[in-house]
Structure 1
């Protein structure tokens, strides 16, 4: 069974790595939509049109399900994708529910792209789960884009994270929600500046579990066979930009040896 995973760049590899770790029997097709990046400065209408086209691409690739491994695309356009494809679609949401349960002093920072930070869905989740917690929504217009430019952008990434963390320290933040799938790729920097006493929450394991539930519901026989098989899944890396982007993606894979194909595609 093959699952398609989409993000604007490298960020969705945090989700793909979690899926590959928990469900190693699945073949995974990863699309880094670098040719349309960054998603954070696109309108809702542009993202809706783009995800519809990406859904058609995954249908042609004969995947069994689509994982939208991008917070911005999920909040802006996942409903459009679900309405225009017959495939099961799994999105990613900011992990605010577990964050509010973890918070020792109930001081939570949610770090997102500008689109996610201003989204109705994020604010709805916070209102639903925050109880008596204090919440600060923060955003960066550049961090996800800089992560895609790794390693030449490493110093800029460090400076951005240091500045963000200084603001969090002033607010005595004890729990940080990384509400963009790019951000866990540089989690070590957040740990460095905030210290281990600050809990850092991201959604990769929850998305992997939800994918398994959706696949078992949609394809019970195929999933039973796949789970019982000793076959290890393979990874196909795609970009909508250029070949040099493919080499950068390999930096973030937990098992790059599972990659069987790297290609540039047109969407």
Structure 2
């Protein structure tokens, strides 16, 4: 008599591996963004060299001492360009994401399991690194060529930290939001770069705040760059620099309030305006 073997009534099903956390995916995305950035050597060299060239040129031409202070105009440029470097994410993310949307990269990412938060975290952390490297280079040049004194008080470096972090976050979120404005990737540079250049001139990067017409100062006060520059002047120019401010004060409390508001406002703008598809995709 032939014996038959009865197959198990329940098949063993292998459990699917759990998805990594959003934080872990965000850090992995940041590592990928950093590798991509540093492999594009032409873009990397331009990103780091442009503020250096501006500082050396402007700092060398305008090297006189500011009347009534022990500061030079060159030192004012160091603080201003540090603010500009901190806002690099506005331009880089605005243009870069617009190009990614136009070439279909965002559309493909939207179809993967990658959480949107991880994608944006990777972009923001890459911007944080790039801006930090730019700031370190500008400080080194300021110390070596323009007699900039680095602060010795821990409170000054604490101020530097929160101005830098809030500035990078706010400008990165704003860059992500404005990436939806250009109608195509090819027009992104013109649409986004021009406002950034204008902001630099009216926010105290190249022209001292007290020398600007009041109406321009009022426009600049709406945007974060003015307050970032003001915060960095507080760190690196000290009490002598406070006399150059329109209110004879750095108003650090107001700086923190407005930069924090831009972080929240930038997040709201991203959530309400960001598009994964280009206009041509409907």
TM range (shorter): under 0.3
Structure with higher helix content: 2
Structure with higher strand content: 1
